[in-house]
A and B are shown apart, each in its own frame.
Chain A
């Protein structure tokens, strides 16, 4: 129904967005590819609230009393676990998808606040290694740039099974982003579309993965934590199998998690939101008596300290950010609106990260565009943002009476919708009712 044009009825089912997409498909004969994560409304952390301290809970003084935020990752097997000062990490994003300047800025920002950043498909660059005090090295199905020397100089290893934007999918880095350096790192000719496989080439299931992880540990003398990253779908079982396979850390990416380039239909319709995926993962860890022993990092839609605090309260050990980190660097800045309009988009809507024409110099390999991003300034902006997230998390934790952000717990939460209550496993606000579980309304 439309109130914009009285008397004329606009279809809710065939909205103007739907009409535009049908007509675009009819014109071009191919699906829409874009970056970012799911954009449609989904149950999320916004549907939860904290129950601050009151008569029965004792708060901590917001500006005086200590509230720690440190987190240790990789305590299960690794000789050298990662010690992070804040429970917020930078997600894997490739050099290739991002400019070298952007990768360096991410490393600088993360290092400034004592947290880790992560490589991506395409290997490790010297700039990001130098800029990152703690760098997680991804082992992906494509194995682009895979190098044992980089394994040895990494601080942790992340075996990537999937990502929230496209569980079960591979990737495609379009030719316009494949300059000579990117191509050289990937052992492929420049300017051609580079397909990233969806399956690993040398293992096929959890039993094989266990042996693969053992090989990676042997190569690195059991020093590095080994993460397993999964896209949120069958999160309960995937978490349990990752534990069985020997993961030190599980990275769980909900469908709001970003991607550099994937079909829109994939992003919006495959996988489940972060909220239920996180609850399922924590349930699996708890049932295996592995909660807090195998650490859990959750990503997909983390924007504020409130999101961080809610993820930790639900049982995560840390969170990871990708899209938000790029926005902190300057992606989709209103100051660039005029330039976004020139390429058919607008500030706030720009998601053609696959196209390589990013006026912010982040999702591009064009030298002129990439030079617009100052890695020093970008690093400072990211550090500022990370500090803000951390302080916001502490504010909430203190209000709930917690001297460490990991002391937040599901009991501190209530849900605003029945859906969120069911998905997160916390009571609907004002009740003791968790849909799907025994309890009183």
Chain B
């Protein structure tokens, strides 16, 4: 690997001369207490599976656009991508923080179980699909079927949301500032109470997104589909 020391704690990996395998292996070899380990990845050039499966509290800066599944299944690490991302950004993230400076393709944050995913641009369809505890803050808009079957966690949308938002939702919470094309099955608008405003404000602040919580509306599950009932057959 052509890693070089630019700062005492920053390692630079240029993917023109190193492979994705070498990068990921080096990140996997970090000890659990690698809090001071800083990485800069250059020439991402749309490579898939970059910085996946990290299990240490390191910091990774990725320069350039990334392909599918960047930061997938992340634990502990703080990963920032200076570009756009392909399908499945930070899929099944467990903890840590992933920030995307650009736009995300479909299924961003899919099935994530923890941590914070911040998308400063827009996210395409199925953002937060089957999310299981992750917090996702999208500064821009999200595409259709976002938060489909979302189980736990929060999806915050600073712009608009496409059709079938929150379809077949479980216990995840959705906050949207702009227009919602339409809601999916069993997803309803809910009252934004003081505790929601407070929690959303804290989340927006943590995400570094400067938008007022009071500008958002809250959506959640009506919980009418939690037990299969033949009388609901026309709902689907």
User: What residues make up the interface of A, taking CB atoms closer than 8 Å to B?
Assistant: 28-30, 142-143, 146-149, 151-152, 172, 174-175, 186-189, 192-193, 195, 197, 201-203, 208, 211-212, 214-215, 218-222
Would A202 and B28 count as touching, CB distance under 8 A?
no
Known contacts: A142-B130, A147-B94, A202-B69. The answer to whether A188 contacts B170 by CB under 8 A is: yes
Q: How distant is A215 from chain B, measured CB to nearest CB, in Å? A: 4
User: What residues make up the interface of B, taking CB atoms closer than 8 Å to A?
Assistant: 20-21, 24-25, 28, 48-49, 52-53, 55, 67-69, 72-73, 75, 87-88, 91-92, 94, 107, 110-111, 113, 126, 129-130, 132-133, 148-149, 151-152, 168, 170-171, 226-228, 230
Known contacts: A172-B228, A195-B168, A218-B53. The answer to whether A148 contacts B75 by CB under 8 A is: yes
Query: Looking at the complex, which one of B20, B94, B227 makes contact with A148 (CB distance below 8 Å)?
Result: B94
What would 20 A/B residue contacts be, using CB atoms closer than 8 Å?
A29-B230, A146-B92, A148-B55, A172-B228, A188-B151, A188-B171, A189-B170, A189-B226, A193-B228, A201-B111, A202-B87, A202-B91, A202-B107, A202-B110, A202-B129, A203-B88, A208-B68, A211-B68, A215-B68, A219-B73
Q: How far is the CA of A197 from the CA of B113 in the complex (A)?
A: 17
10 smallest A-B Cβ distances: which pairs?
A219-B53, A202-B88, A187-B132, A148-B73, A143-B111, A192-B226, A215-B49, A202-B107, A215-B69, A201-B129
Q: How distant is B234 from chain A, measured CB to nearest CB, in Å? A: 13
Q: How distant is A191 from chain B, measured CB to nearest CB, in Å? A: 9
Would A218 and B171 count as touching, CB distance under 8 A?
no
Majority DSSP secondary structure for residues of B touching A: loop
Known contacts: A175-B227, A193-B226, A211-B49. The answer to whether A143 contacts B92 by CB under 8 A is: yes
Chain B residues with CB below 8 A from A192, complex form: 170, 226-227
Would A30 and B230 count as touching, CB distance under 8 A?
yes
Chain B residues with CB below 8 A from A151, complex form: 53, 73
Would A215 and B230 count as touching, CB distance under 8 A?
no
Query: Looking at the complex, which one of A149, A175, A215, A221 makes contact with B72 (CB distance below 8 Å)?
Result: A215
Would A187 and B133 count as touching, CB distance under 8 A?
yes
Known contacts: A143-B132, A172-B228, A201-B129. The answer to whether A220 contacts B69 by CB under 8 A is: no
Query: Looking at the complex, which one of B49, B73, B113, B151 makes contact with A214 (CB distance below 8 Å)?
Result: B49
Q: How far is the CA of A333 from the CA of B71 in the complex (A)?
A: 49
Q: How distant is A135 from chain B, measured CB to nearest CB, in Å? A: 18
Would A219 and B72 count as touching, CB distance under 8 A?
yes
Chain A residues with CB below 8 A from B107, complex form: 201-202
Would B49 and A218 count as touching, CB distance under 8 A?
yes
Would A218 and B111 count as touching, CB distance under 8 A?
no
Q: How far is the CA of A197 from the CA of B110 in the complex (A)?
A: 13
Q: How far is the CA of A54 from the CA of B129 in the complex (A)?
A: 61
Q: How distant is B35 from chain A, measured CB to nearest CB, in Å? A: 19
Q: How distant is A199 from chain B, measured CB to nearest CB, in Å? A: 10
Q: How distant is B194 from chain A, measured CB to nearest CB, in Å? A: 24
Would A211 and B67 count as touching, CB distance under 8 A?
yes
Of A152, A211, A218, most buried by chain B (CB within 10 Å of CB) is: A218
Q: How distant is A317 from chain B, measured CB to nearest CB, in Å? A: 28
Would B228 and A146 count as touching, CB distance under 8 A?
no
Q: How far is the CA of A311 from the CA of B130 in the complex (A)?
A: 38
Would A212 and B69 count as touching, CB distance under 8 A?
yes
Q: How far is the CA of A126 from the CA of B87 in the complex (A)?
A: 32
Q: How far is the CA of A142 from the CA of B21 in the complex (A)?
A: 28
Would A218 and B21 count as touching, CB distance under 8 A?
yes
Other A-B contacts than A201-B91, A201-B148, A202-B91, 12 sampled, CB-CB below 8 A, are: A148-B55, A148-B92, A152-B53, A175-B227, A187-B133, A187-B151, A202-B69, A211-B69, A215-B72, A215-B88, A218-B21, A221-B24
Would A219 and B52 count as touching, CB distance under 8 A?
yes
Q: How distant is B131 from chain A, measured CB to nearest CB, in Å? A: 9
Q: How far is the CA of A99 from the CA of B133 in the complex (A)?
A: 26
Would B21 and A189 count as touching, CB distance under 8 A?
no
Chain B residues with CB below 8 A from A218, complex form: 20-21, 24, 49, 52-53
Would A187 and B152 count as touching, CB distance under 8 A?
yes
Q: How distant is A99 from chain B, measured CB to nearest CB, in Å? A: 22
Query: Looking at the complex, which one of A148, A193, A201 makes contact with B110 (CB distance below 8 Å)?
Result: A201
Chain A residues with CB below 8 A from B55, complex form: 148-149
Q: How distant is B134 from chain A, measured CB to nearest CB, in Å? A: 10
Chain B residues with CB below 8 A from A212, complex form: 68-69, 88
Q: How distant is B232 from chain A, measured CB to nearest CB, in Å? A: 11
Would B171 and A189 count as touching, CB distance under 8 A?
yes
Q: How distant is A45 from chain B, measured CB to nearest CB, in Å? A: 36
Q: How distant is B121 from chain A, measured CB to nearest CB, in Å? A: 19
Query: Looking at the complex, which one of B25, B73, B230 makes contact with A221 (CB distance below 8 Å)?
Result: B25
Q: How distant is B68 from chain A, measured CB to nearest CB, in Å? A: 5
Q: How far is the CA of A186 from the CA of B149 in the complex (A)?
A: 13
Chain B residues with CB below 8 A from A29, complex form: 230
Would A146 and B72 count as touching, CB distance under 8 A?
no
